[in-house]
Amino acid sequence: MPHLDVPGARLYYETDGHAADEPLLLIHAGIATLRMWDPIVAALATNHYVIRYDTRGFGETTSGPEAFSDRDDARAILDHLGVLRPTIIGASRGGRIGLDIAVETPDRVAGIATIGSGPSGFPEVELTDAEDDLCTKLDEAFEAKDHQRIADLEVRLWSIGPLRNEQDLDGDFVRTAFELNRLNLRHHDSAIGESIDLEPPAYDQIVDLEIPALVTVGEFDITPALIQFEYLAQSIPNATRHVFPDTAHLPSVERPREFLEVLSPWLSDHGL
């Protein structure tokens, strides 16, 4: 299994497709690992060089207590593979990391697609009562250090969504959503270092991005993600926007065919 040793960590990564094709860097959500991309990688790899990795604190990556930069980790993977300027496809915090990379080093990003993401430095957003209720249960689970319950409540908040009933959803998707987050339980007792934030954050800088951008969100995502989606769509110059119906925080997992029907033409239209 391929790993890259960087200061304070051993990053797990995978590649698919041919290195001569246009590169894509896929960065997973905080309720998943690189396995979240399994449903779409084969299709993307027919004409792209697809790179994905587990960030620190997730999946097969191991790390120590040293402070680190998610941006540096991503660029280290790219440098190791000899990739100068990929298109970044990021889900949730993965999209935030991608936006930070694009703002900090614009020469390293050819385009960006986000899924339920927002820029670093985004102001706090008031939750609905249903969202607040689930967050209260999460706080109680944190107090009790019940990591299994934390993982499952995160899935109910994000992947299922407060306005949906998991019994009404596709059973395979629900099982996959819970499994993706449970893969990270091994890291709950690990001493992972502090992440070094981008300063100033991307919030006030995305208006200067000069790359193609695809901004997406699920119809039933939680309020902060929906508001951040609107902000990105309005603030990034010439951004393409799309809302995936009948999905929450992981539309690429819940509706992979529909996701590819949006992503693939956008990539082609921009020569990415």
Global confidence as pTM = 0.97
Tokens read off for 99: 């936006």
pLDDT at position 187, please? Answer: 86
pLDDT of 34 above 90: yes
Amino acid residing at 216: T
Q: Which domain holds residue 174?
A: 129-187
Same domain, yes or no: 56 and 117: yes
User: Final residue of a domain: which of 148, 172, 187?
Assistant: 187
Same domain, yes or no: 208 and 121: yes
Contacts of residue 113, Cβ cutoff 8 Å, sequence gap at least 6: 87, 88, 89, 90, 95, 213, 214, 215, 216, 263, 266
Tell me the C-alpha distance between 207 and 47, whole Å. 30
User: Final residue of a domain: which of 187, 209, 235?
Assistant: 187
pLDDT of 271 above 80: yes
pLDDT at position 166, please? Answer: 93
Strand locations in the chain (E): 3-6, 9-16, 22-27, 48-53, 62-63, 87-91, 111-115, 213-218, 240-244
Q: For the segment 80-117, what is each residue's pLDDT rounded down to a tens digit?
A: 999 999 999 999 999 999 999 999 999 999 999 999 99
Same domain, yes or no: 91 and 147: no
Q: How far is CA 131 from CA 139, 230, 236, in A?
A: 12, 19, 28
Domain count, the chain: 2
* Angle, vertex CA 195, rays to CA 212 and CA 111, nearest 5: 10
Same domain, yes or no: 164 and 226: no
pLDDT of 192 above 90: no
Cβ(249)–Cβ(29) below 8 Å:
yes
* Angle, vertex CA 248, rays to CA 112 and CA 269, nearest 5: 30
Same domain, yes or no: 59 and 194: yes
HEC states along 207-240? HHCCCCEEEEEECCCCHHHHHHHHHHHHHCCCCE
Same domain, yes or no: 147 and 28: no
| Average pLDDT, integer, range 145-151 | 92
Same domain, yes or no: 110 and 215: yes
Q: For the segment 210-231, what is each residue's pLDDT rounded down to a tens digit?
A: 999 999 999 999 999 999 999 9
Q: 70-81 vs 93-104: helix axis angle to the nearest 10? A: 70
pLDDT of 188 above 80: no
Cβ(184)–Cβ(57) below 8 Å:
yes
Same domain, yes or no: 92 and 154: no
Tokens read off for 257: 């065919």
Residue with tokens 């941006």: 71
Tokens read off for 54: 């587990």
User: Final residue of a domain: which of 187, 213, 233?
Assistant: 187
pLDDT at position 190, please? Answer: 72
Average pLDDT, the chain: 96
Same domain, yes or no: 111 and 200: yes
DSSP 157: I
265: CATH: 3.40.50.1820
pLDDT of 189 above 90: no
Tokens read off for 11: 């990053």
Same domain, yes or no: 78 and 15: yes
Same domain, yes or no: 19 and 146: no
Same domain, yes or no: 249 and 158: no
Tokens read off for 128: 């609905």
